[in-house]
A and B are shown apart, each in its own frame.
Chain A
Amino acid sequence: MTAAVEISGLTKSYGEARAIDGLDLVVQEGSIFGFLGPNGAGKTTTVRILTGLAHPTSGTVRVLGATVRAGDAVGADVGYLPDVPGFYNWMTATEFLRFAGNLFGIPKPQLESRVATLLDLAGLTGVKTRIGGYSRGMKQRLGIAQALINAPRLLLLDEPTSALDPIGRRDVLEMLATLRGRTTVFFSTHILADVDRVCDTVAILDHGRLLVQAPMEKLKSRYRAHKLVVEVTSGADELIARIEAQPWATAVARAMNGAIEVTVSDMGAAQHALPALVAAGGLGLSRLEAGEVQLEEVFVDLVGANRR
């Protein structure tokens, strides 16, 4: 597998402030890559450097094997959607897509066919009004359509679902999922549920630094190995107090369904000790299993640890 994006030692400073701090990142071709981080983490700056719109302070960036030079036009195989796409308000959606396609030099018959398909995808077929009269959601959908006009090998999306309603969001995520294997999707967002839903690989950025990069399942299983769920027939509060006293228990919480979620530092010790604690309290054990980990928990844990 070859790399669609290679970032090495990337830094970007604005005066004293460092927006990106020694970022190393590799995105394999064909993957749907979730680039996660809280607001101000440096996601948009990274994407802008990837597209040649911003100059790095130091480091190198390669996209589809070619070194990105700031100020130069990006290759014809890249599609890009900025966080807030700006359009010529006097154009219609059809005119803008034709204009974008013509910049790529797409032959007319092929372009007309793509324009029709993408208008349909964006839910803008038959909309004759000028873009100036569009809602933010309509502009966002048109932004995704224009990013796909050249059938790119690499699609760079900066917060693509932030302005969409739930149905629009679902449609966009489903569309991204259909690109898996054919187009590399680099998807910057702070909406964890979107990444959880479609991405196969994830990187988490905070304060311009990479906290983790891993395939989604691997990341979750790494955290799953530190979580147990216990359910007892009665006396849950008493059991929680006993668990909290154990050296291997780092956090104990009560789930909505009444189950006890235990984060542990030593899984082996916890698996041996927990049934004994239940028995010692004379409680009935209903369930004991490895906990399901949500991306949100991983994110909060990593970003929280980085800020402590």
Chain B
Amino acid sequence: MTGWLVFAGKEAREIVRTWRIWVLPGIVLLFAITGPLIARFTPELVGALVGNNLGGLNVPPPTYADAYLQWTKNLSQIVVIALIIVYGSLVSGEVRSGTAVLVLTKPLSRNAMIAVKAIVHSLFVSAVVIVGAMVTWGLTWATFGQAPAGPLWRATAAFLVLAVLFVCLMTLLSVVVSSPAGAAGAGLGVYVALAIAAIWKPLDEYSPAALTSQPASLAGGHDVTATWPVISALVIATGCVVLAGTMFRRQDL
């Protein structure tokens, strides 16, 4: 257990002391801040862009729901892609730089290294998204005068499950594919496949595919049951980590 904690401490310090502290938090905070503002000023922006060309069409006055929708769309479409790219070298980076060799010739198993990376980075992504949601919540309240907690947090929670799934998937892909670009490409392929799979109703009800679209529905205040997609996503995420550990043990370093 000592090795797990020591390596987890290293991962946490590495996040704080390298580029990792800037990229995902920067992207998430940017969307957290701009989401409510863009939602609030969309009618003015549209008006300024098209002038009188819309004729009698009126853009409805924006509400808090538009700010929430903006936030969840950004999470599901841009943040998840950033996450896939950032974690394309989660394990292969350590192998390529030679640090894995030094660490794994000390009392730390390969399984432990994989599990710690998946856990620490899932927690990091969760913390970043939760902070972003709080910023969105506060700014939505300041901009629209109301910001009910339920829709925002349900949508954010559904996205977090998807984010954890992709952190675990990228852990596996960064073991299997030594090239960070290759692993990221494979991750993006899985994301697109999930988004397409959600069109088929059984998959949309029971598989993680539903989590690519459900955050937006939840943010809009729709009554959506996400139990099976969440359970299946967490089972698959665990499976990815176990498989990553197994495959990593079989590799020559």
A-to-B contact residues, CB < 8 Å? 48, 51-55, 70-76, 78, 80, 82, 84-88, 90, 99-100, 102-105, 143, 146, 150
Top 9 nearest A-B pairs by Cβ distance?
Answer: A86-B98, A71-B249, A103-B106, A54-B252, A80-B105, A102-B6, A53-B253, A86-B97, A105-B2
Closest residue of chain A to B245 (Cβ to Cβ) is A71
Question: In the complex, what's the smallest C-beta–C-beta distance from B199 to chain A, in angstroms?
Answer: 41
Question: In the complex, what's the smallest C-beta–C-beta distance from B12 to chain A, in angstroms?
Answer: 12
A-B pair number, CB within 8 angstroms: 82
Q: Find residues 200-249 in chain B having any chain A CB closer than 8 Å to their own CB.
A: 248-249
Of listed B3, B109, B252, residue having the most chain A CB within 10 A: B252
Q: Find residues 70-129 in chain B having any chain A CB closer than 8 Å to their own CB.
A: 97-110
Please tell me if the beta carbons of A103 and B107 are within 8 angstroms of each other in the complex: yes
Question: In the complex, what's the smallest C-beta–C-beta distance from A103 to chain B, in angstroms?
Answer: 4
Is B7 interfacial (CB-CB < 8 Å)? yes
Closest residue of chain A to B6 (Cβ to Cβ) is A102
Question: In the complex, what's the smallest C-beta–C-beta distance from B177 to chain A, in angstroms?
Answer: 19
CA–CA, A85 and B140, complex, Å: 51
Please tell me if the beta carbons of B105 and A78 are within 8 angstroms of each other in the complex: yes
Can you list 6 A-B pairs, Cβ within 8 angstroms, ordered by A? Answer: A52-B105, A70-B252, A73-B104, A86-B97, A87-B98, A103-B106
Given contacts A54-B253, A73-B110, A87-B98, 5 further A-B contacts (CB under 8 A): A71-B110, A73-B108, A82-B102, A86-B101, A143-B102
Question: In the complex, what's the smallest C-beta–C-beta distance from A18 to chain B, in angstroms?
Answer: 15
CA–CA, A88 and B14, complex, Å: 9
Given that A48-B252, A71-B110, A72-B109 are contacting pairs, would A103 and B101 also be in contact in the complex, using a CB cutoff of 8 Å? no
Question: In the complex, what's the smallest C-beta–C-beta distance from A64 to chain B, in angstroms?
Answer: 14
Q: How large is the interface on B (under 10, 10 to 19, 20 to 34, 35 or more residues)?
A: 20 to 34
Q: What A residues does B6 contact at CB under 8 A?
A: 99, 102-103
Closest residue of chain A to B253 (Cβ to Cβ) is A53
Closest residue of chain A to B96 (Cβ to Cβ) is A86
Question: In the complex, what's the smallest C-beta–C-beta distance from A85 to chain B, in angstroms?
Answer: 6
Q: Which listed residue (B14, B107, B249) contacts A105, Cβ 8 A?
A: B107
Is B52 interfacial (CB-CB < 8 Å)? no
Question: In the complex, what's the smallest C-beta–C-beta distance from B164 to chain A, in angstroms?
Answer: 25
Please tell me if the beta carbons of A102 and B107 are within 8 angstroms of each other in the complex: no
Please tell me if the beta carbons of A48 and B106 are within 8 angstroms of each other in the complex: no
CA–CA, A71 and B112, complex, Å: 12
Q: What B residues does A146 contact at CB under 8 A?
A: 102
Closest residue of chain B to A146 (Cβ to Cβ) is B102
Q: Which listed residue (A90, A99, A102, A150) contacts B17, Cβ 8 A?
A: A90
CA–CA, A213 and B246, complex, Å: 37
Q: Which listed residue (A55, A75, A143, A150) contacts B252, Cβ 8 A?
A: A55
Please tell me if the beta carbons of B105 and A51 are within 8 angstroms of each other in the complex: yes
CA–CA, A103 and B104, complex, Å: 10
Q: What A residues does B106 contact at CB under 8 A?
A: 73-74, 100, 103-104, 150
Of listed B14, B97, B102, B250, residue having the most chain A CB within 10 A: B102
Closest residue of chain B to A102 (Cβ to Cβ) is B6
CA–CA, A100 and B99, complex, Å: 11
Q: What B residues does A86 contact at CB under 8 A?
A: 97-102
CA–CA, A74 and B102, complex, Å: 11
Question: In the complex, what's the smallest C-beta–C-beta distance from A45 to chain B, in angstroms?
Answer: 9
Please tell me if the beta carbons of B107 and A104 are within 8 angstroms of each other in the complex: yes
Question: In the complex, what's the smallest C-beta–C-beta distance from A182 to chain B, in angstroms?
Answer: 20
Question: In the complex, what's the smallest C-beta–C-beta distance from B246 to chain A, in angstroms?
Answer: 9
Closest residue of chain A to B106 (Cβ to Cβ) is A103
Q: What B residues does A52 contact at CB under 8 A?
A: 104-105
CA–CA, A80 and B17, complex, Å: 27
Please tell me if the beta carbons of A82 and B101 are within 8 angstroms of each other in the complex: yes
CA–CA, A11 and B194, complex, Å: 44
Q: What A residues does B107 contact at CB under 8 A?
A: 73, 75-76, 103-105
